Structure 1
């Protein structure tokens, strides 16, 4: 992978809305080169998609409840954790799923309209799976930072470091 492609990935990771023209300026290459690099990265499945991070607390009547669920599972012989992970990530509520080290095996992040919907997901969909031994559900009460973006940051806040004598 070229240095320009790596630079482009770093820029797009910070802001996927950068236009090809802006990327060309930032990378000091032509727009056609930007298009070619972007297309190659998409074709190679290095870039898997483009997402917008939204602060739903600022949109009326649209706030979702987010939960992180710790799951202990029994791995399947010959398939390990992959088989049960595939069954779980296919549920529409699942936003993220990770294999973890430590006291539990899988970490699931889900979103729903209410705590009751999350409860039903755990009791009706997740817990009945043969490989699932136990679950622990944590509800997110407030987001401070997500994917490197700080939420509820005061616009008039002075970004300079305070210096005291």
Structure 2
């Protein structure tokens, strides 16, 4: 595995590792780790750093929906054109072209179901190339970005009664 790949894996595991921690784990010097990270950022491989938030553990109300989008392309419009238009909306957390029964998989967040619904009906559905939307509201999250959620006190052992 290349040193760039090792650094990427470590950052995916914990983006808060210090360069000293990563140097120790990769047998690189701290300056080599720093240079590699700067190069990865400059090349656009690393696009940002973010926290994984379990909204269920906060007092904040956040609504997340997964939206299936079907599109019909014409000669002048490509998937990339549609994606560029949709990705500009701040409500869109992720957007992917997928194989299967629909074309795009879009993740949307808002402060309420009404806000998410209005966004889909007022901003997404009117896009001429979009022929169908199917919205699935997330009821509970158990794992995000490789991080399992829960109270941390789960005991999966069966109790034994005398």
Q: Partners in 1 of 2:40 and 2:77 — Cα distance?
A: 30
The DSSP-based 3-state class of the residue aligned with 1:18 is: coil
**1:154 Cα deviation from its structure 2 partner:** 2.3
Runs of 4+ in 1 over 2 A off after TM superposition: 153-158
State whether residues 76 and 83 of structure 1, in contact with CA within 8 Å, keep that contact through their aligned partners in structure 2. Answer: no
Q: Partners in 1 of 2:49 and 2:143 — Cα distance?
A: 19
Matched, 1:107 2:105: yes
**1:63 Cα deviation from its structure 2 partner:** 2.7
Aligned residues: 158
Cα root mean square deviation, aligned: 1.8
- Give the structure 2 partner of residue 16 of structure 1: 15
State whether residues 67 and 134 of structure 2, in contact with CA within 8 Å, keep that contact through their aligned partners in structure 1. Answer: yes
State whether residues 22 and 33 of structure 2, in contact with CA within 8 Å, keep that contact through their aligned partners in structure 1. Answer: yes
The DSSP-based 3-state class of the residue aligned with 1:104 is: coil
**1:107 Cα deviation from its structure 2 partner:** 0.8
Q: Partners in 2 of 1:76 and 1:66 — Cα distance?
A: 31
Instruction: Identify which of 134, 143, 148 aligns with 1:145.
Output: 143
Q: Partners in 1 of 2:140 and 2:12 — Cα distance?
A: 24
The DSSP-based 3-state class of the residue aligned with 2:115 is: helix
